Chain A
Amino acid sequence: MDAFSAVLQGLPMTLTLTLSAFAIGIIGAVPLAVALTSPVAPVKLVARIFVDLVRGVPIIVWLFLLKFGIQIGTFKFNPVSAAIVGLGIVSVAYLAEIYRGGLQAVPRGQLEASHALGLPQSSTFFGVVVPQAFRIVSPSIATYLVGLLKDSSIASTIIVSEMVFQSQAFARQHPTVEGILPYILVGILYIGLSLPVAYLSRTLDARMRKAVFA
């Protein structure tokens, strides 16, 4: 088998990890972002500590904690679920911080105008603030997705057979010069995979800026 098909064997797992963790993050971050902007100080503090703690610890530590450290009765995480949950938790924290930035970037005047018009709280939040915040943060979300794609490679350290794991396996079987190929190919593959997202992010960035601030 050649290096490229070896690396490609890991592609479905890389995509599974990335998209599952992203889905967890996108949804899980919503309540956390609301908590981060909460006027209730203790709620805000707990949310803040959670976000900063999750981001302050490297991903590999979270994966090892889940994979080796958690045992409840007979339950233990298998490598794939540990990776998805670990990457998911980290995504929740990062995306919540991105959402919070977006919510706070909506100009105060928008709230004041809504209040002056007598709009109810829920319409103000979901009808006025959220749509604007979403436009502001969508480029950052795309950038985060690219980062998550790369971070999913860390799952290889807990024996999840994604692309980097497959590259390692191939390299180990080929002690010759050929053994360097999978590393180069997998690097190119990551860059190639992130190109469409980066492109999307750039067009979103330009379009959103125009839409929001023009």
Chain B
Amino acid sequence: MTVSATTDEARASHVGIKLNNISKRYGDHVVLDDVSLNVEPGTVTALIGPSGAGKSTFLRCINLLERPDSGTIRVAGHTIEPGKNVSARDLAALRRSVGMVFQSFNLFPHMTALKNVSFPQQRVLGRSKEEADERSMQLLERVGLKEKAGQHPGRCSGGQQQRIAIARALALDPSIMLFDEPTSALDPEVGLEVLSVMRELAADGMTMVVVTHEMQFARDVSDTLVVMADCKIIEQGDPRAIMSDPQETRTRRFLRAVLER
């Protein structure tokens, strides 16, 4: 299932993420202060840091769920300057190539699991119902939930809902996946199901950015660890190196708080 080196290179030119000088404020309250980040294609980046650091906001800037006040966003070959007007077509193209998974799943409760995965394919990619359903079943099988296809989300556990949500995002064949604390609303045991799906995705070469509190996952799976605090990136690099020997006192304080409890 690993993506071959040649396609990797072919995709390399346009599937990475480059965020330059992103700033965002709500009124007088600064949320992001001139933040820049590069994500190489095919890599996994974990965003960690204390709550209120701006991790989620920063992640949501990548697909413009949050509109930064200034900066440049280059995602999957699209360049967007959010300070200016963004055309609906650019926005649609950007979002088609970026999948997102939310902390609270946000499945559509009035649709079955299958419909949840098929509906966006039909509407966004123009696939026929048959094509969409076929693809949906493949993906539901891949996340281990084929038998839940006909159920509504309310009938599924949190872990199952999150895996359906991952299938829904994957169904649009994104080149990048964003995860916003995907296991925070789940019991630790159930979170493991979700993390294992994410590990498989990473092994298949998906470009991923993950906001998480799962330190083990961040250490084992991510290629780059990014530590945010006070609306800025304070440290980034090899996850093992940072975790064993943080350079910043703020990082050290945070890691001690989460690792030594």
**Any A–B CB pair closer than 8 Å:** no
B residues at A contact (CB < 8 Å) = none
A residues at B contact (CB < 8 Å) = none
